[in-house]
Structure 1
Amino acid sequence: MGLDDKISNAAKEAVGNAKEGIGDATDNERLEAQGQHDQNVANAKQAGEHVKDAGDDVKDTFR
């Protein structure tokens, strides 16, 4: 994944965090749940990027 994807995922995580905080502050459970969902999606994508990066590191080791 490129830098653009990493920035996009970090932004989605930040937006999710903001949604969750606003939902919590306003007792809006739906907005809070959307924020948690956005954060989970971003974290899953980031985990996939870390796995891919680790695989690339291993591949580079054997070159």
Structure 2
Amino acid sequence: MSDDNTRDKLKGKAKELIGKATGDKSKEREGKADQAKAAARKKAAAVRDRVDGAKESLKRRNDS
């Protein structure tokens, strides 16, 4: 998952810079959207990890 995030972030940054350099606002917005998608995916993974950690903690507590 991390590789996908990195790839989307870099791809988005490249599109944004190309859009800025060429004056293509559509390409610039597309790049920003790719970067936002990568950031959202990263945050979702962090939340998922915290939930999994909390579930495991509760399970250990109940098993004791």
Indicate whether the TM-score tops 0.5: yes
Instruction: Bin the TM-score by the shorter chain.
Output: 0.7 to 0.9
Query: Could you say what the CA RMSD is over the residues aligned between the two structures, in angstroms?
Result: 1.1
With normalisation by structure 2, the TM-score equals: 0.80
With normalisation by structure 1, the TM-score equals: 0.81
Counting matched residue pairs gives 59
Q: 1:22 aligns with which of 9, 18, 23?
A: 18
What is the aligned partner in structure 2 of residue 8 from structure 1? 4
- State the identity %: 34
Structure 1 outlier segments of 4+, above 3 Å: none
Gap runs ≥5 in structure 2 = none
Whichever structure has more helix as a proportion of its residues is 2
Gap runs ≥5 in structure 1 = none
